[in-house]
Structures are given as structure tokens and as C-alpha cells.
Chains A and B, each alone.
Chain A
Amino acid sequence: MERKNYLVEELSKEEKAYFEKAIISARNNYIKKNYNYINSNIEELSENIVDEQCSVLELVIKKCEAEICSAIKFELEFSDPKLYRYIKALSYDEKMMLFSLYKKNKSIRLVAKEQKIDKDTVRRRRDHLLNEIKNILGDENNV
């Protein structure tokens, strides 16, 4: 029997049906084998979408609230009225920097990363603030 050349001739009806059936069975086998993986991917995706829709704003608000609360708490830490006034007059970034450094014991690198400034800037600001505080305390001792 002569060999059929598939480069020239079309597939017969049966061959085409067989070809399609093979594709479908390969697909079904793949889905069966990877059922858990495919479903978990879909779930994760839908969870992320729900998260994005509902809670991004809430998360941002909570984070801001926590930061403002910590800055206010830091002000209240100082019972000395002169020192309290000085600390109150500091900018928000300066207060947050001191709070992170001395209350949360974070490293300079972390604080710089949080505030998106250079490490040297953090050191410089810290030294300046500590000098100011020392001066205030020194004045009080002299009086």
C-alpha cells in the first residue's frame, strides 16, 4: 500500500477526528495532573483582587494613624516643660526619626530607608537634635 504524504494531502475525516480527540485528551490529562496548582493560582489571584478593592485604603489609614500616634506619644514622653516645648516644636520627620532610633531601637540604616533619606543625613540630624537637647539640659543645670 502506498504511503500517504501528509505534506501534500489533507487529513481524512477519521484522522482529523482522531487528531482533535488526542488534543482534548492531552488537555484533560494536563488539567487532572495540575488541578491543585491551577486552582490555587486562580484563588490567589481572586484574593488579591478582593484585597486591592477593599482594604488598601484601610491599610494606608491604619499605618498613618499608627505613625501619628507614635509621634504624639513621643512628645508626651518628656515631662520637663522646656524640653517638651522643644520636642513639640520639632518637625514630624524629626520626631519620627528620634522615636524610631530611641524608642523602637531601629538602626540608622532602617530609619534612613523608612524616611527615604541618606544615612549621613539621619546621623547629622540626630547629632544636631541631641546637641540641642544637651544644651537645654545644661542650661537647666546651670540655673
Chain B
Amino acid sequence: MFNNFNLNDEEILYLFEKYKPLINKASKISFKFDEDLNQEIKLHLYKTLTRGRK
């Protein structure tokens, strides 16, 4: 899965862009877009997808 969680930065940015609507939808609190939450989600995804890096 995700090449053993060893994606490069380019691939991660591509995935962020591709799944932007989903990420933005999850970044809403009380119907308002929360930039901090958006950043937190991206950071979490980045850490997850690169945890296999040496």
C-alpha cells in the first residue's frame, strides 16, 4: 500500500491536489472552512504517507 508508505513529495502534492475537494470538505467546522484543520489534515497525511522513508 502506497509503496510501503514511501511516497515522494511530488506524489503527495499530486494526491493533495487530486483529493482537494475531499480534504476541504473535511476541513469545515460549523459550515466554516478552518485553515488550521486543513493544515492539520495535510500534515497528518504527509506524515502517514512518508512514514516508510529511510
Contact = CB atoms under 8 A, between A and B. Distances in A.
Contact of A18 (B1, B14, B41, B43): B1
Contacts of A23: 19, 22-23, 26, 41, 44-45
Given A19-B19, A20-B22, A4 B45 contact: no
Contact of A30 (B2, B3, B30, B37): B37
Interface residues of B, number: 23
B28 to A, nearest CB: 9
Nearest to A3: B3
A15 B45 CA distance: 12
Contacts of A30: 36-37, 40-41
Interface in B34-52: 36-37, 40-41, 43-45, 48
A26 B3 CA distance: 22
Contacts of B3: 3-4
B12 to A, nearest CB: 8
Contact of B37 (A5, A14, A27): A27
Interface residues of A, number: 24
Most buried by B among A18, A19, A22, A38: A19
Interface in A1-52: 3-7, 11-12, 14-15, 18-20, 22-27, 29-31, 34, 38, 42
Interface string B2-39: 11000100110011000100110011011000001100
The 9 closest A-B pairs by CB, nearest first: A26-B44, A6-B11, A26-B41, A30-B40, A23-B26, A27-B26, A30-B37, A22-B48, A7-B14
14 contacts: A5-B11, A12-B1, A15-B2, A19-B45, A25-B44, A26-B44, A26-B45, A27-B26, A27-B37, A27-B40, A27-B41, A31-B29, A38-B30, A42-B30
